[in-house]
């Protein structure tokens, strides 16, 4: 990005406000004393590697209850986490991310996560569609929700879960249930909370 692809990235990595750190994201977050407005994880697991079985014996501590708690504590008061991954035809991965966010919010003293999560996906759908889960340290405001509605409409995205939409979908059920992970879809999908001891 600082050489061959500098122009394609609009020379983002030369911006004076950009600092490049090469390392494990979780370790970096735990070691820093700084707080951030946005922590973003995009397409962390390559589908080709997963399909080939290359990650079959690899533990991933980026997506555990404790990891999400670490991320939350390193956000500013108005900060958000954003996780983007592929596929939505079987939304178990998105449900797992929301369950982890709910558990982490509870660890950080927020017993009601229904206002802290937004889920959007590509309107086209299909096997290559991308889904993004947004998690806010504080509940999203009315202004935030209005902005999300406008941006999703303009960007050809579909709202899957928005606080207060009353859609009654799986995400709303998961977030409104007193248990962190429960419901009939949990048993069918095998959605469980990953921990550092069991990633």
Pairing of strands 36-42, 75-86: parallel
For residue 123, give both structure tokens. 């309107």
pTM over 0.85: no
Q: Is the dihedral of CA 178, 139, 64, 95 positive or negative?
A: positive
Long-range contacts of the stretch 183-186 (C-beta < 8 A, 24+): 185/95
158 contacts: CB under 8 Å, gap ≥ 6: 120, 121, 122, 123, 125, 152
Q: What secondary structure letter does DSSP report for 12?
A: G
Contact assessment for residue 100 and residue 72, using Cβ atoms and an 8 Å cutoff: no
168 C-beta neighbours (distance < 10 Å), count: 9
Q: Looking at residue 153, what is its pLDDT? A: 87
pLDDT lower than 50: segments of the chain: 48, 54-57, 182-185, 187-189
Contact assessment for residue 178 and residue 172, using Cβ atoms and an 8 Å cutoff: no
Contact assessment for residue 137 and residue 72, using Cβ atoms and an 8 Å cutoff: yes
- The arrangement of strands across the sheet holding 157-161 comes to 36-42, 75-86, 130-136, 117-122, 157-161
Q: Looking at residue 56, what is its pLDDT? A: 46
- CA-CA distance, 13 to 11, in Å (whole number)? 5
The residue with tokens 């600082």 is 2
Q: Looking at residue 93, what is its pLDDT? A: 80
For residue 177, give both structure tokens. 């249930």
Distance of CA 39 to the CA centre of its chain: 9
Q: What angle do CA 101, 108, 99 make, to 5 degrees?
A: 20
């Amino acid at each position: 990005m600082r050489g061959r692809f500098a122009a394609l990235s609009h020379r983002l990595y030369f911006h004076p406000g950009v600092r490049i750190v090469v390392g494990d994201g979780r370790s970096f977050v735990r070691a820093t004393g700084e707080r951030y407005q946005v922590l973003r994880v995009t397409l962390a697991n390559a589908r080709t590697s997963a399909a080939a079985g290359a990650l079959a014996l690899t533990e991933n501590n980026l997506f555990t209850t404790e990891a999400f708690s670490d991320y939350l504590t390193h956000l500013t008061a108005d900060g958000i986490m954003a996780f983007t991954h592929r596929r939505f035809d079987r939304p178990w991965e998105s449900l797992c991310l929301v369950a982890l966010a709910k558990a982490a919010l509870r660890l950080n003293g927020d017993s009601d996560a229904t206002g802290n999560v937004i889920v959007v996906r590509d309107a086209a759908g299909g096997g290559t569609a991308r889904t993004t889960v947004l998690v806010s340290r504080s509940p999203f405001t009315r202004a935030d929700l209005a902005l999300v509605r406008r941006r999703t409409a303009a960007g050809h995205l579909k709202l899957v879960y928005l606080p207060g939409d009353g859609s009654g979908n799986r995400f709303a059920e998961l977030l409104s249930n007193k248990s962190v992970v429960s419901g009939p879809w949990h048993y069918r999908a095998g959605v469980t909370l990953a921990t550092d001891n069991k990633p």
